[in-house]
Structure 1
Amino acid sequence: MKKQLLTPLALLPLLVAAQAPNFTVTGKIGHLNAPAKVYFDYMDDGKSKSDSAFVKDGAFRFTGHTSPYSYVRMGLSHDGSGKQRAVYGGDVIYFYMGKEKVKIQSADSLIHATISGSKVNEEYNAYNRFIGGTIMELTKAVNIAFSSGTAAQQKDTAYFQTIDKQYRQNIANRATKQIEFAQQYPNSYFSVIALSEAGGMKGVSSVETLYNNLSEELRNTDPGKELAQRINAAHTIVEGATAPAFTQNNINGQPVTLNSYRGKYVLLEFWASWCSPCRAENPNLRKQYAQYKDKGFEVLGVSLDDDKQKWAQAIEADQLPWTHVSDLKGWNNEVGRLYGIRAVPASFLLNPEGKIIGINLRGETLNNKLATIWPQE
């Protein structure tokens, strides 16, 4: 009896130690003071974590627990106008870190800051030099190229098409270099990242062999597991296959199962409140839902949001009467990963037996498909 009581207590120090802080990020940005505020978002083994801190005489500090490789987004609101403006249109940087003491320093802004103390980020920078830069760097370069044109050129469709063609070629070249990186450095964590991104460009079948050649340790990282799910989805989530079963909570926290829709046609719709194309399609979905719901048609929305309030506001604003589910893990939504989702909107039309009979149907394509199921009398 005593042994049974003592064993759980003896484990408590180990459990606490497992989540003990293992990184520190300190910053010094000039002599800024409140209301200037820094917003800190990072991934810890597939789980999104967030923190924030006011700046005092330019200084700020974060500490916490992270996996050996963690992707970070840091935004600075100079005037206290909030996180959204800071990270989506303001002073923002992205970097990698590990279990390290990281220092960020600049005279005026995050975007001009130097990052030191992180071997993980140095490895990330070397990877980016090999592949030709980050997507954000390539996007910035194309915007500069477009802006360098005269007013007349910027109104010229041919001028835009020339710059756009070069941008797309640079993205394609980057994907090719990512595959080369994975071939040359199969023991690097960034080979997993490279194959994941290249697979999104060239199709996951193009990177499957290289992925299988990675070490078990790399394949068991969260990005490695996510890529494995996408590879599996490419083979199994196809027209004629049975859609994978899942359970996820609705907006009220109640579990909803896909199998509960058997006997009806259901559109499994992956979307998010921040996705403009998704929101643009919602009026058409409302129309089709109203037309066919009494004949056995349902829509099940799976949101890739990570903010419940924004998710709920979008449902209300767009007047979406069907059931919605989410685990509020953003791109790490478990159903999204199960179905290999890398972009939204994405959808799968299922028949009453749960088999996939259409993929990424929207607009008139969806309307025509539903009209073949229920011809107008």
Structure 2
Amino acid sequence: MLEFKGSGLKFFLDSTAYNVHLFLKEISPGRYSYETDIATNSTIHNKWKKFVAEQVTFFSQKANYLNKADSSQNPTLTTEYKRKAAEVDLAIRQAYKTLAENEKNNPATAYLLPSAPDFSYKKYIALYNGLTFKLKSSIYGKELFDKLNLLKNLDSPTAQPTYAGKQLSFPLINVVDTLGKVTHLDKNFFKQQRFTLIEVWASWCGPCRLINIELRGKEAEYAKRGLKIIGFSLDNGISSWKKAIKDDNVKWPQYSDLKATNSPLAIFFELKEIPANILVDRDGNIVARNVYGPAIDGYLK
């Protein structure tokens, strides 16, 4: 990332020559920003940039169809918009597979694959095996393999949440810890304590890391009062996730599915920003969301 006042420019850097241009532009009286342009013959950067741009276009198209489906008063049109959105979603997923098949020696491939919305061991191990030995031996190739291996046993479908009276129960999902052990977040998991606080965070989220430090000072007290803290990471990569846990010295259980914003948990709770958390009682019912400090104490009286 080449950072400059107000923004930055991300690019995939290798030993190829890069020409970067910043154009200062006045966006309103007294307010300026930069338009950027980068020219290079790097096959790594250009493939990465093209792929990312295509994905942005796909997601824009999908959002457009879904917005039309939500606002349409015509059932036939609503169905048609949803069908088109599903087609775009299929194209998004297929693009990752096509990339792996056509760019078997490009580091951008190993870097991008873990971001696939349907990334799993069963669906991507064959594509990984088809990559060149050189790519598999690279830092991104090793990270890709580590993620595949960690998620090896995490291919079970996600169950839908249920309603207990007027309360919404926590969705039944499977997650892994940093060693790849699968844990089921279900009623049997939650009934072991009075409350469970699921802290949603990520290694790249500065405010989340500060929350980790704050909770570290409260964990023992909360445990005595019947509340167990667990972490759920929206990280996409293993190494950054593990490093953040170590650096923050958090001792409570840490889980993830390494799907970042494609995680079923993030989608179900419509998470727009983090840090965030969910307070769940021993019956698996969602008691509250985004409770911190005194708000937590209120539930533990």
Instruction: Return the TM-score normalized by structure 1.
Output: 0.43
Supply the distance in 2 between the matched residues of 1:333 and 1:345 (Cα, whole angstroms).
15
2:15 is the alignment partner of 1:34 = yes
Q: Which residue of 2 aligns with 1:267?
A: 197
Q: How does 1:203-352 map to 2 (within 5 A)?
A: 208-210=70-72, 212-213=78-79, 214-219=81-86, 221-222=88-89, 240-259=167-186, 260-264=189-193, 265-352=195-282
Opposite residue 315 of structure 1, the aligned amino acid is: I
Q: Identify the match of residue 95 of structure 1 among 46, 49, 53.
A: 53
CA contact (8 A) 2:209 2:248 kept: yes
Secondary structure, counterpart of 1:74 in structure 2: helix
Task: Report which structure shows greater RCO (CA 8 Å, sep ≥6).
Answer: 2
2:44 is the alignment partner of 1:74 = no
CA contact (8 A) 2:234 2:260 kept: yes
Supply the distance in 2 between the matched residues of 1:329 and 1:296 (Cα, whole angstroms).
30
Supply the distance in 2 between the matched residues of 1:195 and 1:279 (Cα, whole angstroms).
36
Q: Which residue of 2 aligns with 1:78?
A: none
CA gap of 1:218–1:301, structure 2 versus 1, over 3 A, is same
Report how far residue 189 of structure 1 moved: 7.3
Supply the distance in 1 between the matched residues of 2:69 and 2:42 (Cα, whole angstroms).
41
2:43 is the alignment partner of 1:61 = yes
Opposite residue 54 of structure 2, the aligned amino acid is: Y
Task: Please identify the structure whose Cα radius of gyration is greater.
Answer: 1
Supply the distance in 1 between the matched residues of 2:14 and 2:264 (Cα, whole angstroms).
40
Supply the distance in 2 between the matched residues of 1:320 and 1:192 (Cα, whole angstroms).
38
Supply the distance in 1 between the matched residues of 2:226 and 2:218 (Cα, whole angstroms).
12
Unaligned runs of 5+ in 1: 1-31, 38-56, 63-71, 76-92, 98-120, 125-187, 199-205, 227-231
Report how far residue 269 of structure 1 moved: 1.6
Q: Identify the match of residue 192 of structure 1 among 59, 62, 69.
A: 62
Supply the distance in 1 between the matched residues of 2:17 and 2:256 (Cα, whole angstroms).
33
CA gap of 1:319–1:255, structure 2 versus 1, over 3 A, is same
Instruction: Return the TM-score normalized by structure 2.
Output: 0.53
Supply the distance in 1 between the matched residues of 2:14 and 2:289 (Cα, whole angstroms).
51
Report how far residue 359 of structure 1 moved: 0.9
Supply the distance in 2 between the matched residues of 1:279 and 1:262 (Cα, whole angstroms).
28
2:300 is the alignment partner of 1:370 = no
CA contact (8 A) 1:273 1:305 kept: yes
Opposite residue 62 of structure 2, the aligned amino acid is: V
CA contact (8 A) 2:203 2:209 kept: yes
Supply the distance in 1 between the matched residues of 2:228 and 2:86 (Cα, whole angstroms).
37
Unaligned runs of 5+ in 2: 1-12, 19-38, 94-116, 118-159
CA gap of 1:96–1:368, structure 2 versus 1, over 3 A, is same
Secondary structure, counterpart of 2:179 in structure 1: coil
Supply the distance in 2 between the matched residues of 1:281 and 1:274 (Cα, whole angstroms).
13
Secondary structure, counterpart of 1:300 in structure 2: strand
Opposite residue 41 of structure 2, the aligned amino acid is: A
Report how far residue 248 of structure 1 moved: 0.7
Report how far residue 253 of structure 1 moved: 0.4
Supply the distance in 2 between the matched residues of 1:193 and 1:370 (Cα, whole angstroms).
36
CA contact (8 A) 1:251 1:324 kept: yes
Question: How many aligned residue pairs are there?
Answer: 194
Q: Which residue of 1 aligns with 2:130?
A: none
Supply the distance in 1 between the matched residues of 2:257 and 2:14 (Cα, whole angstroms).
37
- Give a deviation string over 1:300-321, Cα, whole Å, max 9, x none: 2111111211111111111111
CA contact (8 A) 2:197 2:277 kept: yes
Q: How does 1:98-109 map to 2 (within 5 A)?
A: none
Supply the distance in 1 between the matched residues of 2:209 and 2:259 (Cα, whole angstroms).
20
Report how far residue 275 of structure 1 moved: 0.6
| Identical pairs, percent | 22
Report how far residue 96 of structure 1 moved: 1.6
Supply the distance in 2 between the matched residues of 1:324 and 1:248 (Cα, whole angstroms).
10
Secondary structure, counterpart of 1:317 in structure 2: helix
- Give a deviation string over 1:96-132, Cα, whole Å, max 9, x none: 26xxxxxxxxxxxxxxxxxxxxxxx9xx5xxxxxxxx
CA gap of 1:36–1:330, structure 2 versus 1, over 3 A, is farther
Secondary structure, counterpart of 1:96 in structure 2: helix
Cα root mean square deviation, aligned: 4.1
CA gap of 1:36–1:327, structure 2 versus 1, over 3 A, is farther
Report how far residue 323 of structure 1 moved: 0.9
Report how far residue 324 of structure 1 moved: 1.0
